[in-house]
């Protein structure tokens, strides 16, 4: 078999055979298929798509490129969550300990931010001492003792995906739904979780800009999970406005702790509870009450134990950026829009994100919101505070926010706050 024939098949809108898929994934992982050849194939897949059987086989080949984890020795049922990425999406931080407090084990393998979307590991690394890299044995030990772990995927888990993900990012093929679905699901299935809840973001701050595209991606991933014996459900959730009141690493950790302490923004609490209920139901614990675990402090207890188990100090002061710059309202009225993508780009430019995987991030950098759409504002009041250690970045970040928000007359009919959960696919 040769790679040129595989590329031509998909270029000419043909269907890849099981043998072609197995061969090309294995050959690329071993390095006998070059990056430029896999780039051509990825572009052909972006343009011409794959059917469900092709995606399932592609996902299986990605899984088979590495090891599989096994959580069968745990006394608790396992449930995991994956978000397709957004702005201010700190939900994993309160969610994992909350679900663990309700009786499930949460093996949360997470990633780093790239571009305008934040990364869970970058956020947690703003906690002094906390480490993302755990061996499989360490991960199992934390799960058994605490009930929740948030860490990086090991090198042995779906190595084909690690190579292909990096390639897609630099070849304009990130948006290919078959490749997004297989990338996410190969890692989650290889991880060995018994059930999975997908948070598929929709809107300007998400990779899926339209509800139709998000439904297609969610349906594809739910089908892949079902085909591989993992109970899978997806929620389509709004990402036209940032989640919560912060976008940035330490800023979002601080806000997550507020949620675990019984406070925090209403939208973060709403989505955390919605996903927790789905995870507990999928894990066979439908009678557990996550709202009670959030209110009585048991989720906070698990958070502290989880952070300590990975070397972190849950009581330590979080980093604060050396410089702040405030953007104020130009007029009085009602904040009618606030674009998630623009806020994400501003946070990235301030140093909260990276353009390349090897770039460092600033723990304290980001954007703090003082109003959300539907809130009344007064001329001159703070709307956004920009945080960074490098103040020369303020103009560059402010430029991204120039058209990010709009204020309507106070007597205009203010639109109702949009629902967070837009649809459910199972």
Catalytically active residues are 82, 161, 168, 183, 187
pLDDT at 411: 62
pLDDT at 170: 80
Rounded to whole angstroms, how far apart are CA atoms 289 and 328? 41
pLDDT at 159: 92
Domains of the chain with bracketed CATH: 3-49 (1.20.970.10), 80-309 (3.40.1030.10), 323-408 (3.90.1170.30)
pLDDT at 403: 93
Which residues does 90 contact at the CB level (< 8 Å), separation at least 6? Answer: 118, 120, 123, 243, 244, 246, 252, 253, 255, 256, 268
pLDDT at 112: 82
pLDDT at 334: 92
pLDDT at 419: 87
pLDDT at 150: 97
Return the closest-CA partner of residue 83 out of 180, 210, 163.
180
pLDDT at 308: 98
pLDDT at 207: 86
Rounded to whole angstroms, how far apart are CA atoms 207 and 45? 17
Residue-level pLDDT, tens digit, the chain, 426 residues: 899 999 999 999 999 999 999 999 999 999 999 999 999 999 999 999 999 999 999 999 999 999 999 998 899 999 999 999 899 999 999 999 999 999 999 999 888 877 788 889 999 999 999 999 999 899 999 999 999 999 998 888 899 998 998 888 788 888 899 999 999 999 999 999 999 999 999 999 998 999 999 999 999 999 999 988 899 999 999 999 999 999 999 999 999 999 999 999 999 999 999 999 999 999 999 999 999 999 999 999 999 999 999 999 999 999 999 999 999 999 999 999 999 999 999 999 999 988 776 778 999 999 999 999 999 999 999 999 999 999 999 999 999 999 999 999 866 545 556 789 999 999
pLDDT at 322: 97
Which residues does 37 contact at the CB level (< 8 Å), separation at least 6? Answer: 3, 4, 7
pLDDT at 416: 54
């Amino acid at each position: 078999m040769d790679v040129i024939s595989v590329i031509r098949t998909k270029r000419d809108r043909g269907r890849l055979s099981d043998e072609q898929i197995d061969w090309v994934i294995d050959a690329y992982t071993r390095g006998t298929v070059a990056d430029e050849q896999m780039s051509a194939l990825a572009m052909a897949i972006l343009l011409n798509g794959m059917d469900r059987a092709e995606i399932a086989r592609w996902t299986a080949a990605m899984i088979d490129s590495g090891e599989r984890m096994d959580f069968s020795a745990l006394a608790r049922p396992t449930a995991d969550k994956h978000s397709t990425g957004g702005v201010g999406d700190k939900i994993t931080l309160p969610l994992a300990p909350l679900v663990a407090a309700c009786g499930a084990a949460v093996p949360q393998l997470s990633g780093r931010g790239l571009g305008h979307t934040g990364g869970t590991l970058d956020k947690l690394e703003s906690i002094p001492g906390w480490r993302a890299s755990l061996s499989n044995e360490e991960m199992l030990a934390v799960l058994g003792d605490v009930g929740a772990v948030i860490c990086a995927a090991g090198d042995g888990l779906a190595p084909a995906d690690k190579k292909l993900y990096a390639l897609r990012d630099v070849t304009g093929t990130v948006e290919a739904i078959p490749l997004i679905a297989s990338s996410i699901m190969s890692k989650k299935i290889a991880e060995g979780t018994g059930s999975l809840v997908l948070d598929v973001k929709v809107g300007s701050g998400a990779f899926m800009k339209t509800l139709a595209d998000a439904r297609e991606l969610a349906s594809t991933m739910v089908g892949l999970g079902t085909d591989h014996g993992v109970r899978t459900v997806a929620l389509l959730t709004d990402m036209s406005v940032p989640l919560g009141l912060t976008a940035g690493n330490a800023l979002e950790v601080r806000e997550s702790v507020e949620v675990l302490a019984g406070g925090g923004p209403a939208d973060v609490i709403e989505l955390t509870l919605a996903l927790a209920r789905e995870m507990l139901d999928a894990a066979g614990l439908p009678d557990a009450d996550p709202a009670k675990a959030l209110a009585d402090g048991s989720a906070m207890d698990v958070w502290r134990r989880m952070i300590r188990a990975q070397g972190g100090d849950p009581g330590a002061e979080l980093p604060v950026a050396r410089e702040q710059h405030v953007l104020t309202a130009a007029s009085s009225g009602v904040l009618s829009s606030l674009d998630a993508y623009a806020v994400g780009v501003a946070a990235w430019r301030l140093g909260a994100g990276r353009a390349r995987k090897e770039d460092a991030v600033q723990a304290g950098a980001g954007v703090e919101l003082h109003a959300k759409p539907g809130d009344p504002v007064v001329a001159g009041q703070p709307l956004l505070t920009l945080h960074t250690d490098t103040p020369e970045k303020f103009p560059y970040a402010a430029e991204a926010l120039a058209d990010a928000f709009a204020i309507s007359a106070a007597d205009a009919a203010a639109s109702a706050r949009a629902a967070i959960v837009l649809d459910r696919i199972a």
